[in-house]
Every structure is written in structure tokens, then in C-alpha cells.
């Protein structure tokens, strides 16, 4: 390996690592707020990428059917509950978000010819289709179990992952998709070629992280999420709804996942089940941070990206083995620094 290749690999690693870092942040966020280990995080990556790809080639994205189906189910569940509790005032809101909004999304796709739109509009349309699925999934799968042990929530998360992968196969088929790059430009920096897409990915990740930071530090909802993460009961006593916090954190996770998918779709071919491995690599990063620290999780994720890119050069067949074995030294280290016997929730 010469320096040129090493730098190329590093560039690759940092690009992927930036994506893993985003996902790691989403995982830490969801875990801190809801105690759900969000295995389906990666599915949003695939959904984001495949939806954009479908829109660009003029196909109706399967995500639309997912959105309509999930919307109808949530509406049914919520309406029944509202009837039982006699809270009729909630009904217009339920119908608006779960029936009218998906209906309008469908109308937009059938009437507006998304294939001819400019790419930023296509991206916005993609996000509008994918992101609402986050809170809907929270409502259907996790909200009824909000007080269950972490272990039960984890099993539910795995079940949701399985269902989503199956639905992904049903709606998008087994073929992979790739989208055109955001920019074909490439820049020379002292003999090193840096592709425009790399800059896009890294730039977008850093921007998104900065926005999230501002959101958590400055806004009311951001602080409410942080409060819930620190002490659920305490936050609830202060009038912060756990349901709201759960839905909001899932919304952010879906947004981060879909954006990550949109960012990597020009770099790698995405299949219906690609998201899982991508999400898990974010996980390895999150575990490095102990599922608690955002900065360490981000550094861990970059490390995963670099490890993956160099191991694909030396031993490409064993790339996945090497990346997932990274978890072991991390666990050893965590295990050596924990001494206490504690009751599991």
C-alpha cells in the first residue's frame, strides 16, 4: 500500500464513518429517551435511499404504501382509544396526521411527477414519506410497552426490524438501487483528490450534528428530551409527556436514518436489507460510547468506518467479521471498568 491508496482508504473510511456517526447519535438518543435499543435504525437508511431512487426513476416508492398502511393502523388504534376514553377533541388531530397527511403525500406523488423535479425537492419529498414512519412505529410497537424492561423492548425492536426488512423486500424487490451523486466535482488538495460526494457527506453530517446540538441545548423540546433521558419519572412529574418524548425521539431517529440513506445512496448500492448492517456499524460506534456519550459514540463510529475501509483493502472477504469483532475489545474494556452488581430493570 502506498500513501496514495492509504489516503484514499482514509477518505472512504471517514465518509462511511460520518454516516455511522449520525446513526450512532440516533441510537444513543433513542436509547437514552425510551430505553429502546433501536435495531431498525438501519431500515430507515434503506428506506431513505430506496425511496429517493424510486422517485428519481419515476416509480411509485413502496414507502408510500407503508405510510398509508401505518397511518390507517395508527388512526384505528388511536381513534378506538379516544372513543373509549371519551376524548373526542383529539380525533381531528389523529385523522389529520394519520389519514389526511399520508393521503396528501400520495396525491403529491401521483400528481407532481417527482421524476422531473430538482433533486432537493425529491429529497424533501423522500423525507416527507419516510420520517413520519418513525413516530408511527413508536405508537404501534413501543408505546404500549413503554414501561417494559429493556430486554422486552429489545426483542420488540428486533421484531420490528424483521417486519420492516420483509416489507422492504415486498415493496422494493430484491434489486439494489443507486442514485446519482450530488456533485461530480472533485478537488485536488496537495496531490490528493477529494470527491465532491465525500465533502457533501462529511459536510452534511457535521451540519446535522451541529443542528442537533443546538436543538438539545437551546430549544424547549430538546431540553424536554434531555430531561426525559436523565429521569423519566421526574420529567413526567414536570409535565413532560413520555409519549411525546418517545415519538419525538423516533421522529429524529427516522430523520437521521433517512438522511443517512440519501447521503450514501450515491456511494454504494443499497438493497432492501443493506440498512441492517449499516445500522449495526453505527451500533458498534454507539457501544464504544457506552450507549450514553454522544462525542465518544461519534469517534467510535469514525473508527469503525476507518477499520472497515482498511480491512476491505487487506482482507475484503473478512471485512464484516473484522468490523464486528471490534466490539470485543470494547466490551473487554467496558467489562474491566465495571465492578458493580446492579439490579436489571
Partner 1 sequence: MQRAILILFLLLLGSGPMILSEFHITLLNYIGLSALVALGVVLLTGVGGLTSFGQAAFVGLGAYATAYLTTATELPDWLAWAGGSPWIGLAAGLLLTAIVAWLLGALTLRLSGHYLPLGTIAWGISIYFLFGNLGFLGGHTGISGIPALELFGHELKSGRAFYYVIWVMLLAAVWITRNLLDSREGRAIRALKGGTVMAEAMGVDTARSKIIIFLIAALFAALSGWLYAHLQRFVNPTPFGLHIGIEYLFMAVVGGAANVWGALLGAGLITILKQWLQDLLPKIFGASGNFEMIVFGMMMVLVLQRARDGIWPILARLVPADHGSRTVPQGDALPRNVMPQASADILDVRNVFKRFGGLVANNNMSFTVRAGEVMALIGPNGAGKSTMFDCISGVGSVSEGEISFLGERIDSLTARAIARRGMSRTFQHVRLLPNMSVLENVAIGAHLRGTKGVLPATLHLERAEEQRLLAEAARQIERVGLKDSMFEQAGSLALGQQRTLEIARALAADPCLLLLDEPAAGLRYMEKQTLADLLRKLKTEGMGILLVEHDMDFVMGLADRVVVMEFGEKIAEGLPDEVQRDPAVLEAYLGGVE
Would you tell me which residues interact with partner 1 (CB under 8 A)? Answer: 37, 39, 140-141, 144-145, 148, 150-152, 154-156, 158-167, 169-170, 173-174, 277, 280, 283-284, 287, 291, 317-318, 320-321, 324-325, 327-328, 331-332, 334-335, 338, 341-345
Question: Would you say 111 or 174 has its CB closer to partner 1?
Answer: 174
Question: Would you say 39 or 131 has its CB closer to partner 1?
Answer: 39
Quick one: which H or E segment has residue 335? helix 327-337
Q: At closest approach, how far in Å is the CB of 219 from partner 1?
A: 28
Q: At closest approach, how far in Å is the CB of 35 from partner 1?
A: 9
Q: At closest approach, how far in Å is the CB of 162 from partner 1?
A: 4
Q: Which of 11, 7, 3, 24 is nearest to 289 (CA)?
A: 24
Q: Which residues are within 8 A (CB) of 221 and not within 5 positions of it... i.e. 6 or more apart?
A: 215, 248
Q: At closest approach, how far in Å is the CB of 17 from partner 1?
A: 18
Say how many Å lie between the first and final Cα of the chain, rounded. Answer: 49
How many Å apart are CA 307 and CA 301, to the nearest integer? 10
How many Å apart are CA 334 and CA 53, to the nearest integer? 41
Q: At closest approach, how far in Å is the CB of 299 from partner 1?
A: 19
For the record, the C-alpha cell of 303 comes out as 473508527
Question: Would you say 90 or 334 has its CB closer to partner 1?
Answer: 334
Question: Would you say 114 or 300 has its CB closer to partner 1?
Answer: 300
Q: Do the beta carbons of residue 191 and residue 3 sit within 8 Å? A: no
Q: At closest approach, how far in Å is the CB of 118 from partner 1?
A: 33
Q: Which of 6, 108, 12, 8 is nearest to 309 (CA)?
A: 12
Q: Which long-range contacts (CB under 8 A, 24 or more apart) does 237-242 make?
A: 242/146
For the record, the C-alpha cell of 225 comes out as 428530551
Q: At closest approach, how far in Å is the CB of 313 from partner 1?
A: 16
Question: Would you say 125 or 288 has its CB closer to partner 1?
Answer: 288
Q: Where are the beta strands (DSSP E) in the chain?
A: 186-189, 192-195
Task: Assign 181 to helix, strand or coil.
Answer: coil
For the record, the C-alpha cell of 270 comes out as 443499497
Q: At closest approach, how far in Å is the CB of 3 from partner 1?
A: 29
How many Å apart are CA 100 and CA 266, to the nearest integer? 32
Task: Assign 64 to helix, strand or coil.
Answer: helix
Question: Would you say 3 or 317 has its CB closer to partner 1?
Answer: 317
What count of other Cβ atoms lies within 10 Å of the Cβ of residue 315?
Answer: 11
Question: Would you say 122 or 247 has its CB closer to partner 1?
Answer: 247
Question: Would you say 233 or 335 has its CB closer to partner 1?
Answer: 335
How many Å apart are CA 78 and CA 76, to the nearest integer? 6
Amino acid at each position: 500500500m502506498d500513501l496514495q491508496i492509504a489516503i484514499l482508504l482514509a477518505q472512504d473510511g471517514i465518509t462511511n464513518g460520518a454516516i455511522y456517526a449520525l446513526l450512532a447519535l440516533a441510537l444513543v438518543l433513542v436509547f437514552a429517551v425510551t430505553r429502546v435499543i433501536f435495531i431498525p435504525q438501519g431500515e430507515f437508511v434503506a428506506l431513505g435511499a430506496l425511496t429517493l431512487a424510486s422517485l428519481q426513476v419515476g416509480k411509485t416508492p413502496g414507502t408510500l404504501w407503508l405510510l398509508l398502511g401505518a397511518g390507517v393502523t395508527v388512526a384505528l388504534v388511536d381513534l378506538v382509544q379516544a372513543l373509549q376514553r371519551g376524548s373526542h377533541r383529539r380525533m381531528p388531530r389523529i385523522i389529520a396526521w394519520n389519514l389526511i397527511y399520508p393521503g396528501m403525500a400520495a396525491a403529491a406523488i401521483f400528481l407532481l411527477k417527482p421524476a422531473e423535479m430538482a433533486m432537493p425537492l425529491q429529497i424533501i419529498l423522500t423525507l416527507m414519506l419516510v420520517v413520519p414512519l418513525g413516530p408511527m412505529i413508536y405508537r404501534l410497537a413501543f408505546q404500549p410497552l413503554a414501561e417494559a424492561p429493556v430486554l422486552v423492548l429489545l426483542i420488540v425492536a428486533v421484531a420490528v426490524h424483521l417486519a420492516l426488512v420483509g416489507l422492504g423486500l415486498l415493496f422494493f424487490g430484491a434489486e439494489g438501487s443507486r442514485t446519482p451523486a450530488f456533485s461530480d466535482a472533485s478537488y485536488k488538495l496537495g496531490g490528493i483528490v477529494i470527491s465532491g460526494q465525500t465533502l457533501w457527506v462529511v459536510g452534511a453530517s457535521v451540519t446535522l450534528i451541529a443542528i442537533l446540538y443546538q436543538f438539545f441545548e437551546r430549544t424547549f423540546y430538546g431540553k424536554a428530551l434531555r430531561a426525559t433521558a436523565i429521569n423519566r419519572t421526574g420529567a413526567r412529574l414536570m409535565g413532560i409527556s413520555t409519549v411525546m418524548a418517545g415519538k419525538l425521539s423516533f421522529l429524529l431517529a427516522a430523520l437521521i436514518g433517512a438522511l443517512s440513506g440519501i447521503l450514501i445512496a450515491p456511494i454504494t448500492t443499497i438493497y432492501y436489507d443493506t440498512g441492517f448492517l449499516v445500522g449495526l456499524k453505527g451500533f458498534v460506534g454507539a457501544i464504544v460510547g457506552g450507549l450514553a456519550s454522544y462525542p465518544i459514540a461519534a469517534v467510535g463510529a469514525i473508527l469503525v468506518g476507518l477499520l472497515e475501509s482498511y480491512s476491505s483493502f487487506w482482507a475484503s472477504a473478512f471485512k464484516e467479521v473484522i468490523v464486528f469483532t471490534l466490539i470485543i475489545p470494547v466490551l473487554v474494556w467496558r467489562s474491566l471498568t465495571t465492578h458493580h452488581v446492579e439490579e436489571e430493570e
